[in-house]
Structure formats: structure tokens, C-alpha cells
A and B are shown apart, each in its own frame.
Chain A
């Protein structure tokens, strides 16, 4: 029995290229991990954390669980291609191993049918069973491929309104991938036409082919050659195309499970893994409010990552990175859980570096320290100064609860720094954070409460304060549970708007809803919780003009007004301002609703 033919060379070359480039790339990325990331990896590498990583890699890399939750047909498509092909390879290897207990070249599993014709002669006892399984698996993959072709023509039934526009290289690679499975079917059929081997499908097709008179070794050889070329091309192009995600996602899941996070200030090794773990599936496009309301379809997360990975000229990267509301909707939608906005900020930081160091901080020292021992610190935030109704209500709630407080930015306020950080001004933001930290720590306050989700996220994620930080909805919820304030139930119908930074940013969905349930009738809206729509006036974006922001806001308002509420409630001063600017529809902060219904 022969186990080599000249046509396996393209395949082998492809595999070698893939291995070589992958190892090279991964090695370079791992070397780029910064000190903190290295320390975390070194600390956790010998822990049990690889077990959940294996489970997640299996669930997401092969079964595509999160995509299936979004749309089962889309999930089936990805699953059949990934899991089906994976099984095809695994079962193929097992089959070859059983057939050649004395060892065999590694391509044997791939080209088994060409070399082994003696199914009926019982190479090993279960050979026909294996052949049937392989046929079934090939059918499974082909069904996914058919769906993929269908999706290219009409993506709506698969839950996608818009799909990604790919680069030419990606298209070539995809074409190679799409050729692999039909060519495999064709080659095996051609072999079967001559030798009558294969499972239920191949034998049936082979007999058909023989029936129309094609039982030609030359034809068979050409088919297998094409199959090998398709495989080789795909593998050779894989490290440079979007299909690099196949292996990278596994590494990413592993590192994430170890506790590694992205460096907020600059590209690190982890960033490279995130960049390459993006499969450019385009799921982030549909949810994006800039796509939905403004029809701008070239700035979504997938294009940002594509642009960074392809080393597009800086101007283009910046134009993509700057035009984003940072509402985190794409981050919530991403099936690979890539933190897209961190990478967006990397580009912004790079762009702002020349002007980042300028700034006048002399006013910082005019803010007087305060002895707040035994009090809670209350930070309204700049935006709350523009919605005095909220801060006023919070002061009334503090009084009703008998809580001593220090309103730290009542008179002179220092920004929390997050708006600057969102725009890429890290040095300037650091100065503000330094002063605020100093004020809070020196005051001796027991906890920090803020009315603004932007400040809240900043204090929570970027400050490392020694005292707990609460958003006012969390705090009011705590007061209610502890019985320190009592509320009467009004008969008003309320629709709640989830602010981006509070909901998707910090995961606070239930606290405001519990509060509103206690004081009024809370209505359900169509897009809520992680699907909540951005109010359009998010501080993350400085490129949209007011007219465009208004369009996004009106869409969010429409969604909120749809269940016909008496009042719209929100927990963010920026959202509140956005909505009150629109028209005369009552919009109130959760704190205001609570203050109105206090029983003193």
C-alpha cells in the first residue's frame, strides 16, 4: 500500500507555513506582555484555572454558544463549520491510527480515502462504521457551508442585517475555505467511483459517478490535487487573515481565565491576542447606534480591529476610533468578549499624545480639603451640576435617612477624569485623579456616593480607592433594604432608561428597577438592560454634530415612550439632559422620584 503521492505537497507546505508563522507570531505577542500581565500569568499558570478555560474554549471556540443564543441558525452555521471540521479531523486521525497501528504520515488522516480502498476487506473491524461517520460529518459541515453561502446572499434569516465588508485577502482565504469541503466530497466520490469505498454517502455518489462513466484515475488525481491546494492555500493564508482567530481565541480565553486584562494605556501582548481573536463576524455592526440611526457603517468595532491589524495609515485608524459613542453596545454583543473600547482608546491616546501634556492645573490647589470623618462623601459630578434636580433630591434623601454627608464638589469641583480618558488624554486625567484621590483619602469619609455613572465607573475602575464606591441607585437601594427610608407607592407609570456606563459599563440593572418598583409601576421597554439604546449625548464622542446626536436620542426616546409611560426615569445626568432637551416629556432621575415619594 502506498502512502505518499506528490499532491500532498501543497497541503504539507500549507501546514508547515501555518505552524511556522503561528509559532513566530505567538512568541512575539507573548514577549510583548507587560509586567503586570506577566506577573499575573506567572502567578496563575499552575492553578486550576485552565479547567474552566478548556470548557470555555470548547463551548465558544467549537460550539459557538453565545452566537447560538443570539440566533440559533447563525450558531448552527458557525458550529457545523467549526465543530464539524474539528470532529472530521479527530475522527480521521482515529481512523488512520486504527488502520495503521504501526504508524503513518500525518496527512493520512486527511487523504485516507485516496490511500485506503479496502473498506470491504476489513482493514480493521469497524472500518465501515468509521466511513459512515466520516460521511455524516462531511454532510454536517457541508450543511453549514450551504448556510454560509446563503448568508452571503441573504443574511436576514440568520439574524444579521448587515455583514462585514472583508479585505481582499480575507475573501481569498474564505474562498479557499469554502472550496475545501466540496472538493473533498468530489475527490472521495471520484475515488469511490473506481474502488467503491467510502460510507453511505460517498459510495452512493461514487456509484452514480461510475454510472455516468467517470471512473478515471487521472480525474481522481486532479480532484485530490485541487483539494490539497485548497487546504494548503487556506493554511498558508490563515496567519494573515481573519481565520487567525481559530487558534488565537483559545489562547485569549486561557489568558482571560488566568486573570489577565488589557493594558488601558497602550498596546500590549494581550491586545495583540484580542486583535487576532476577532473573527470579523460583524455581529457588532447591527447593534451600533451610529449604524442604526445614522447609517455610518465603517467605524464599528470590527472595522477598528481590521484597521489596526492591517496597519492602516494612522489618519484612517483615528477617524474610525474617534467616531464612537463608547456606549459599549458592541462589547456586550461581541461573541468573543473582546474589549473593543480599550483598543479604541489606544488609538485615541496615540493620536492625542502631542497635546496631552499641556494643561493648567493651578486651580486644583484652590480646592480645600475637608475633614469628613464619620460622613459619606457625595460627588455629584460635572453633569449633575447641569441637572440640579438630581443633586437636590440626593440631599433630601441624605437628610431623610439621617446620613451626614460631605458634598465634595458642591462649590468647586474637579472632574473625575473619565471624559478626558475617553478622549485619550491620560496625563491630564492622571492629574485630576491624583488630586481627587488625595481629597477623598484625606477626608476620612467612609464611602463615596456619586450621582453620575461616568464618575462612578471612573472611581470604581480607574481610581483604586480604599473606600467603597456606590452609585446613588445602589445607595438608595441599600437605604430601602435597611429600612432607613420609606417610600409611598404612587400610581405613576415609569419607563426606565439604562445608562450605558451604569448598565453595560458597571452591570447595575436591578438596583434602579427595584427602587422604581417600590415607588411606581415600572414598565418594560423593548430594548432594555444590555440592549439599551444610547442617549446619543455620551461624552465618548466628539465628532458627531448635534443633529446626528439628536437622531440617536430620538430613537432611544421612541423606544422609551412606546409603552406609554407617565414619566421616563434614568439614573444618569447626561442621559437626563439629553432627553429633556428633546421636547416636553417629563424625565426624572431615580433619585428625584424617590425624593418625591419619601415618607418622612
Chain B
């Protein structure tokens, strides 16, 4: 039995380590030159403020297993089912006619990478993950046009460097976070909630307050979804201990001022008033979108669901199975998920692969 995992993020690595622990040979395909691209530059993890580096190191260590082979710079562009005799089956017919349990012709997965190399595996797990929403698409928020407007990803990097670059320029007097940029947004076409931005903003606001206690921190939100264990407490703490201020309302537009700050126009929907505010930094909490790899695999195997995420059979009991036999999915390639959920999901996927 050969196992292949596409994408060496937290989910991919976790699943690989579980499979390896059960004595299976696993090949990991990663299109970047190093693993864990999305969390490598994070500072701390919610809700316990554990340094992200620890997590990265732990996961990295799990890769040091002789049963796990990692192929970097290998972008899987096509996934198809071939019979062991060597003839390529027509994919759509296969899915439609063959019941999953009775598999007449012994066959396996053929993975083709961007350079044209082919690999074969019996079981494939897709962990191609997400990509942050491109804030340029919300031009009214001025990202990429005015100074002082950043995404939450960039903010996390800055926090990792203790806001060093921010401090040499000029210690900010005020920082504004804006929730739901590119998620729950009719106009950009993403109706879903990205799930992690609310708590990330609370976390980043606390970290900013820890580093710069005299800076005003505002968070503009539609509603705050503190769904996880410890999140609500963190939200409360941010207000009581750190004095972060939360404003219910959306920012409609942001523009630069003559002295290089940012002016925002918004509405405070609890007060029922329009407002203007000048800030040194505007942080856009960008949502999650299906990554390009996810879309590509989804299209090549016809398992593309809503918004380009991968569609699984059943969200409750068969959440790791796709409509194809021996093709599994885990992590944020299915829907927005926190890191915790993603890693757990990967373990579940590994078990599902071992079971069948």
C-alpha cells in the first residue's frame, strides 16, 4: 500500500505522522520549497498564546521519519485513476457507474506534477489548504494604495518582530482592526464565515496592547463569533484588562491623509451614527479562500464544492471521504478551519485511510 498526501501543511504532516506510526509508507508532495508555509510566520496561537514556532518545530520533527518522504517544489496539477494494467479509465464514467464497494478492476491513483513527472499511489489525501483573501479586491479599503493599511497576515508578521519596524517609524497612537474582509461579503461573492478572524483580531489586539499599552486599539465588527473554548474569556479579558474597544459597524472606505495616516469612514450601528476616525494603522482581517491547489485538484477530480472548496460526502460521519474511492480530504481545503480543528481533522482522515 502506497500513501500519498498532497500539501505539507499542519494537516498533511499530522496525517503523515499518524500513517507512519502505523508503519505505512507515505509520500508528501509540497509545491513550496519548505513545509508549513501558512503558519511559519505566525507569532502566537490562540487561545493560549503558545508561540507558533513551537508548533512548527514539533510538526517539523514529525517529518523526521524514515517512512515519510517529502518532495518539495512538486506541484501536483492532475490526479487521475488508472487501472493497474496501464489503461487510463475515463474518470466521469468511473465515478458514475462503479459502486464504491465493488471495485472490479484493480486500479490506483496517478499523480502528475507540473513538470510532467508521474507518481502512483493507492490512497491519496488532499490537504491543499487555503489562501488568504487578496485585499486588493476591496479597493475601497485602500490596501496597496495608501500607507498604513495591512492585512492580518502582515500584522502577525509584525507582531512576530515585536512591531519593530512600526516602532522605528513612529509609535502608532491608534490601531484599527476591521473584521470580515472578504468573508461574509456579498460583494466579493464569499458568503461564508472564515471562522478564525474574530478570535485572531482579539488575539492580535491583546498582543498589540501588551507591546504598546498606550496605543488605542479599535475593532470594527459585524458580530463577534467566539465559538471555541477560551475564546469568550479572551474577548472579555481584552476589554477588561487591556482596554480594547469594540465598535459594531463596517468601515465603508479608507483613504490616506496628508501626513501619511489613514482616515476611515464607518458607521457605528449601535449608536446609529456615521463616524470618521484617523488611525495610524488599519488592519484588514482577511478571510480564507480555497487555495489554487485546492481548486486545481477539485476540478481535476470533479470534487469541487461551494466557493472552490473540496466537497465531502457527509459533514458528520464521512467528512474525510470524497465521492471517489481512496481519495480523502482534510483540513482547510474543505472549509475554513482553525489550526486545532485542522490537525484533528487530519488525524481522523489518517484513521479513515487505515480503516478502509
B189 at the interface (CB under 8 A from A): yes
Is A388 a contact partner of B139 (Cβ separation < 8 A)? yes
Return the chain B residue nearest A386 by Cβ. B140
Find out whether the CB atom of A388 lies under 8 angstroms from the CB atom of B137.
Answer: no
Determine the chain A residues whose CB is within 8 A of the CB of B188 once the complex forms. Answer: 581
B72 at the A interface (CB under 8 A): no
Whether A66 is near chain B, meaning CB under 8 Å from some CB there, is: no
Cα distance, A385 to B136, chains bound together (Å)? 15
In the complex, what residues of A have CB within 8 A of residue B146's CB? 388, 392
Partner among A385, A392, A546 whose Cβ is within 8 Å of the Cβ of B145: A392
Name the prevailing secondary structure of the A interface residues.
helix
Q: Considering the complex, give the chain B residue whose CB is closest to the CB of A546.
A: B186
Q: Which of B139, B255, B256 contacts A580 (CB 8 A)?
A: B139
B140 x A385 contact (CB < 8 A): yes
Residues of B within 8 A of A385 (CB): 140, 253, 255
Chain B residues positioned under 8 Å from A582 (CB to CB): 189
**Interface: A551 (CB within 8 A):** no
Pairwise interchain contact A581-B189, C-beta atoms closer than 8 A: yes
We find that the number of chain A residues with CB closer than 8 angstroms to chain B is: 14
The answer to whether B137 touches A580, judged by C-beta atoms less than 8 angstroms apart, is yes
The interface bits of chain B over 251-267 (1 if a CB of A lies within 8 angstroms of the residue's CB, else 0) are: 00111100000000000
Please provide the chain B residues from 110 to 150 with a CB less than 8 Å away from any CB of chain A in the complex. Answer: 134, 136-137, 139-140, 142, 145-146
Choose from A388, A546, A576 the contact partner of B187 (Cβ within 8 Å).
A546
A-B contact count (CB 8 A): 38
**In the complex, which residues of chain A have a beta carbon less than 8 angstroms from the beta carbon of B137?**
580-581, 584
Query: How far is A576 from B188 in the complex, measured between Cα atoms in Å?
Result: 13
Name B130-174 residues within 8 Å CB distance of A: 134, 136-137, 139-140, 142, 145-146
In the complex, the chain B residue whose C-beta lies closest to that of A537 is: B187
Q: Confirm or deny: A577 has a beta carbon within 8 angstroms of a beta carbon on chain B.
A: yes
Q: Which of A388, A577, A580, A581 contacts B142 (CB 8 A)?
A: A388
Across the interface, name the chain B residue whose C-beta is closest to A410.
B255
The docked-state distance in angstroms from the alpha carbon of A550 to that of B189 is 9
B139 partner residues in chain A, CB cutoff 8 A = 386-389, 576-577, 580
Give complex CA distance A387, B253 in Å: 9
| Chain A residues in 8 Å Cβ range of B256 | 388, 392
B187 close to A581 (CB less than 8 A): yes
**In residues 341-363 of chain A, which contact B (Cβ within 8 Å)?**
none
User: Which residue of chain A has the shortest Cβ distance to B143 in the bound complex?
Assistant: A388
Chain B, residue nearest A393 (CB)? B145
- Nearest chain A CB to B125 CB, angstrom units: 28
Chain B residue contacts of A576, Cβ below 8 A: 139
Nearest Cβ distance between residue B79 and chain A, in whole angstroms? 23
Most chain A Cβ neighbours within 10 Å, of B139, B187, B188, B253: B139
Q: Do A387 and B187 contact each other (CB < 8 Å), given the known contacts A392-B145, A584-B134?
A: no
Instruction: Determine whether the beta carbon of B189 is less than 8 Å from that of A388.
Output: no
Interface string of B181-219 (1 = CB under 8 A from A): 000001111000000000000000000000000000000
Partner pick for A386 among B136, B186, B253, CB 8 A cutoff: B253
Known: A580-B137, A581-B137, A584-B137. A388 touches B255 (CB 8 A): yes
Q: Which B residues touch A580, using CB under 8 A?
A: 136-137, 139
**In whole angstroms, what is the CA distance A386 to B188 when docked?**
14
A residues 379-393 near B (Cβ < 8 Å) are 385-389, 392
- Shortest CB-to-CB span from A553 to chain B, Å, is 11
- Per the bound structure, the CA–CA distance linking A208 and B146 in Å amounts to 88
- CA A582 to CA B253, docked complex, whole Å: 19
What is the 8 Å Cβ interface bit string for chain A, positions 76-87, against chain B (1 contact, 0 not)? Answer: 000000000000
CA distance A418 to B255 in the complex (A): 24
Q: Which residues does chain A contribute within 8 Å of B140, judged by CB atoms?
A: 385-388, 577
What is the 8 Å Cβ interface bit string for chain A, positions 563-582, against chain B (1 contact, 0 not)? 00000000000001100111
Interface centre among A387, A388, A581 (most CB of B within 10 A): A388
Bound CA–CA A385/B137 (angstroms): 15
CB A371 to nearest CB in B, in angstroms, measures 19
Residues of B within 8 A of A546 (CB): 186-187
Task: Kindly state the separation between the CA atoms of A546 and B191 in the bound complex, as whole angstroms.
Answer: 12
Expressed in whole angstroms, the Cα–Cα distance for A582 and B190 within the complex equals: 11
Which B residues are in CB contact (< 8 Å) with A389?
Answer: 139, 145
For B142, B146, B256, which residue has the most chain A Cβ atoms within 10 angstroms? B142
Q: Is the CB of B134 within 8 A of A388?
A: no
- What B residues does A386 contact at CB under 8 A? 139-140, 253
Please give the distance in Å from B257's CB to the nearest CB on chain A.
Answer: 10
B263 to chain A, nearest CB (A): 9
Closest to B263 in A: A411
Closest-CB distance, A575 to chain B (whole angstroms): 13
Which residues on the B side are within 8 Å of A577 (C-beta)?
139-140
CA–CA, A524 to B254, complex, Å? 35
Contacts of B145 in A (CB 8 A): 388-389, 392
A557 to chain B, nearest CB (A): 13
Q: Mark A377-421, 1 if CB is under 8 A from B, else 0.
A: 000000001111100100000000000000000000000000000
Query: Can you show 9 pairs from A to B with CB atoms below 8 A apart?
Result: A385-B253, A386-B139, A388-B253, A388-B254, A389-B139, A576-B139, A577-B139, A577-B140, A584-B134
Q: Sort A-B residue pairs by CB-CB distance and give the 10 closest, nearest first.
A: A386-B140, A387-B139, A388-B145, A388-B142, A385-B253, A389-B145, A581-B187, A580-B137, A546-B186, A388-B255
Binding site for B on A (CB under 8 A): 385-389, 392, 546, 550, 576-577, 580-582, 584
11 more A-B residue pairs beyond the given contacts A386-B139, A388-B146, A546-B187, with a C-beta to C-beta distance below 8 A: A385-B255, A386-B253, A387-B140, A388-B255, A392-B145, A576-B139, A580-B136, A581-B137, A581-B187, A581-B188, A584-B134
